Structure 1
């Protein structure tokens, strides 16, 4: 533990907060300072069940966490419909913001959050953990080696899991007043961001939703897909599928003119301390097409900390730089979130207008 670590307040006791609270404790430059819930008994239960320190401050409202002058940053896993209200208030209270994804119900809402963060000089980052894994950096290095991979031609990603009847009846992710984006905002966020990551966040020219998405009785998306095109001169394309209806998948496949990259666990690695991906370069069919001239190479990447702890560590490092040396917030992270939200909005619009292309 470093001296003077970043003191986190957690606003809301959602299930994902259990994982991130562990990450805050594992990161060497952060501590959990406060927990806030609308019901103080729920906050007390969260502290008790997650083995948090007796020194953690427990509050029966979100306002009390934001009003505590000792809180440097907040982690906010609230329902998406509440993000604008509480994220803007957090920024106005000069609290740096680690916001759970999806960041907002629309890019217009996210703009309000990002404007508040920028005008108050606070760091923004969304809670997409896999971007912080060392495997992600290694993949990017190999993707952009022109001799190994060539030009990106096709990207496909999936993020799905099959849920129970209890989930479909009670989970906030299928409630139009809490998380109206449904599967598109939850699992689709990862797919869209993975595609943008692969192309260095170059926005596609057009987004076209695939026909026959599945909705529940309230109109919330349970499964959907889309394709992206970058234009006539840029021939690469991308597709994704996301949903709550099929067996768990976290696939990312990227195909280039001379190589390909595949992994089945891009969102949550199979294990915490190491992750891998398959990479093939220069593959050809053997004589008479009786096989291949080579097999994929499995590239293994070790990680000293779980990816969620690395996310917290990176965020806390940025916050400390602002706090201690007057640095400006890193604009990379809000830009990534905004581009993801922009494309997500385009997918939703394409669904609404009958699966026609939406220009960006």
Structure 2
């Protein structure tokens, strides 16, 4: 079967991650970045020229009114995701929204409700979920390769600040602004929580977290313990004041999986690591799986395009339930860290 016609996507915003997205999808037969919008015509025009995008709009609303645009990619600051995803749905555009999908579970649910009401698709963008590494991970868990998942540990951090909060990179970065949804938890922690949700397959029942806050008021480092209805327990770590690291261990009663849950292939590499121990006994060795890797932006965008053209079964990323559960969990973790207490989440329906 031949590939469907390319999905014409417009980008809301000219953030650096939007540049990486454009590079990733360049040359794709399934995705065409047809327009970009920014808050000023000059900024939109400069971004369009830089990324070889045919049309530029001087406002987000103008892009939503563009009849040639079928879908939008939202790389806006976290606090704007809900507003513009809902506006896009109301304009009849499908939505690929950067993680975190929203700040809190109520916002996330409102976004998905709006998409349903207007007959469009809304999904949360996690490049790592489109990688063969994560697709294989999901399959292994579903096949019972490690038995029933009992423990999960997932951590992701990078050196954006020093441990005392001194900024090592751009002091104007939105990750330093609490009013715009900054901080480690809504950046790196979103990845850790989403991996934990994949591994357990359910919403946490309660969480307890501790964190360290920087001078601007955003969380620099957060660690959390999560308890699940099934009895599984998870530990989440995230930081923007540590050496770069990204790893997770999923332990069942019959085996173990280790993953780097990477967004993209490392420079010069064609694979991402995935290690599996099939058996409960200590002497059972780990199997090193060879899993191909690709550009995560391209993989997720092409999966999104196939979903729109061919049906929801072609989407390889987060489901609505996963996205809402992650938003609720992150909200509860933030509250727990602020108030130093266990926080109970609403039960899943």
TM-score in terms of structure 2 length: 0.89
What is residue 262 of structure 1 aligned with on the other side? 258
Distance 1:67 1:166, change over 3 A: farther
Extract unaligned runs of 5+ from structure 2: 162-166
Q: Deviations over 1:10-60 (max 9, x none)?
A: 11011111121123334321101101111222223223333x25xx11111
How far, CA to CA, are the matches of 2:342 and 2:252 in structure 1? 27
How far does residue 328 in structure 1 lie from its aligned partner after superposition? Answer: 11
Counterpart for residue 299 of structure 1? 289
Alignment of 1:26-45 (within 5 A): 26-45=27-46
Aligned-pair CA distance for 1:166? 5.1
Q: Within 1, Cα distance between the matches of 2:146 and 2:76?
A: 40
Instruction: Report if the CA contact (8 A) 1:10-1:75 is conserved.
Output: yes
Q: 1:3 to 1:103 in 2, by over 3 A?
A: closer
The answer on 1:350 being equivalent to 2:336 is yes
Structure number, greater radius of gyration: 1
- For the pair 1:46 / 2:47, whether they are aligned, the reply is yes
Cα distance change of structure 1 residues 320 and 19 upon mapping to structure 2, 3 Å threshold: same
- For the Cα contact (< 8 Å) 1:273–1:306, is it kept in 2? no
Q: Which residue of 2 aligns with 1:110?
A: 108
Other structure's SS at 1:247 match: strand
Inter-partner Cα distance in structure 2 for 1:128 and 1:18: 16
- Do the aligned partners of 1:208 and 1:358 also contact (CA within 8 Å) in 2? no
**Distance in 2 of aligned mates of 1:27 and 1:358:** 44
Q: Which residue of 2 aligns with 1:7?
A: 8
1:303-352, Cα deviation, whole Å (9 max, x unpaired): 4x422211111111121247xxxx89989632221111011111112123
What is aligned with 1:159? Answer: 156
Q: Is 1:309 aligned with 2:306?
A: no
SS in 1 for 2:245: coil
Partner of 2:128: 130
Per-residue CA shift, 1:165-206, capped at 9, x if unaligned? 2547311011022224x1111100000000000122x11221
SS at match of 2:330: helix
Higher strand share: 2
- Rounded to whole Å, the distance in 1 between the matches of 2:83 and 2:296 is 28
**Matched-pair contact (CA < 8 Å) for 1:123–1:329:** no
Name whichever of 69-78 and 84-93 sits farther off.
Answer: 84-93
Provide closer, same or farther for how the CA distance between residues 197 and 65 of structure 1 changes in structure 2, counting only shifts above 3 A.
Answer: same
Deviation at 1:116, TM superposition (A): 1.4
**2:205 corresponds to:** 205
Change (3 A) 1:143 1:334: closer
Alignment of 1:40-189 (within 5 A): 40-50=41-51, 52-53=52-53, 56-146=54-144, 148-164=145-161, 165=167, 167=169, 169-180=171-182, 182-189=183-190
Q: Deviations over 1:245-273 (max 9, x none)?
A: 00111111111222111123534443564
Does the aligned pair in 2 maintain the 1:252–1:266 contact within 8 Å? no
Match of 1:225 in 2: 223
CA distance in 1 between partners of 2:196 and 2:219 (Å) = 20
Structure 2 CA distance for aligned equivalents of residues 222 and 123 of structure 1? 34
Greater mean deviation of Cα atoms: 120-129 or 218-227: 218-227
Q: How many residues align?
A: 338
Q: Secondary structure at the match of 1:266?
A: coil
Stretch deviating more after TM superposition (116-125 or 213-222)? 213-222
Q: What SS is found at the alignment partner of 2:178? A: coil
